[in-house]
C-alpha cells in the first residue's frame, strides 16, 4: 500500500480547510483512502499540472476542491502539498 505523507504547511491548510468545510470531512477521508489504494482511480480525476508547478499532480475531493500532491509513486509515497479550491491551486 502507498504511504501518504504531509508537509507542515499542508497540515496548517488542512486544519483551516476542515474548520471552514466540516461537510467535506467524510469526502476528504474517502479521497485519501482511494488515493492510498489506487492513485490512478478515475474518481480522483488525477491531473498533471503545468507551468511552474509541472512537477506536481492534483486530485479531486469534489468538483470544487482539489489536493495538490507531489506524486512519488516509484518510492511508494505520495506527499500532500496543498489543499483548496480549484482556482486557488491553479493560480
Instruction: Write down the mean pLDDT value for the chain.
Output: 85
pLDDT computed for residue 8 by the predictor: 94
- The proportion of the chain whose per-residue pLDDT surpasses 70, expressed as a percent, equals 88
Q: What is the pTM of this model?
A: 0.83
**DSSP letter (8 states) at residue 61:** S
Total residue length of the chain: 91
Confidence of residue 87 (pLDDT cuts 50, 70, 90): low
Report the relative pairing of strands 57-60 and 65-72 from DSSP bridges.
Answer: antiparallel
Q: What percent of the chain has pLDDT over 90?
A: 33
* Predicted local confidence at residue 16, as pLDDT: 92
pLDDT reported for residue 71: 67
Rounded to whole angstroms, how far apart are CA atoms 40 and 3?
15
Amino acid at each position: 500500500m502507498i504511504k501518504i505523507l504531509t508537509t507542515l504547511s499542508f497540515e496548517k491548510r488542512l486544519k483551516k480547510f476542515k474548520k471552514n468545510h466540516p461537510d467535506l470531512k467524510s469526502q476528504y477521508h474517502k479521497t485519501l483512502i482511494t488515493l492510498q489504494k489506487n492513485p490512478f482511480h478515475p474518481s480522483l480525476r488525477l491531473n498533471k499540472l503545468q507551468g511552474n508547478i509541472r512537477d506536481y499532480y492534483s486530485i479531486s475531493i469534489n468538483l470544487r476542491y482539489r489536493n495538490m500532491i507531489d506524486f512519488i509513486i516509484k518510492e511508494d509515497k505520495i506527499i500532500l502539498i496543498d489543499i483548496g479550491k480549484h482556482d486557488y491551486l491553479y493560480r
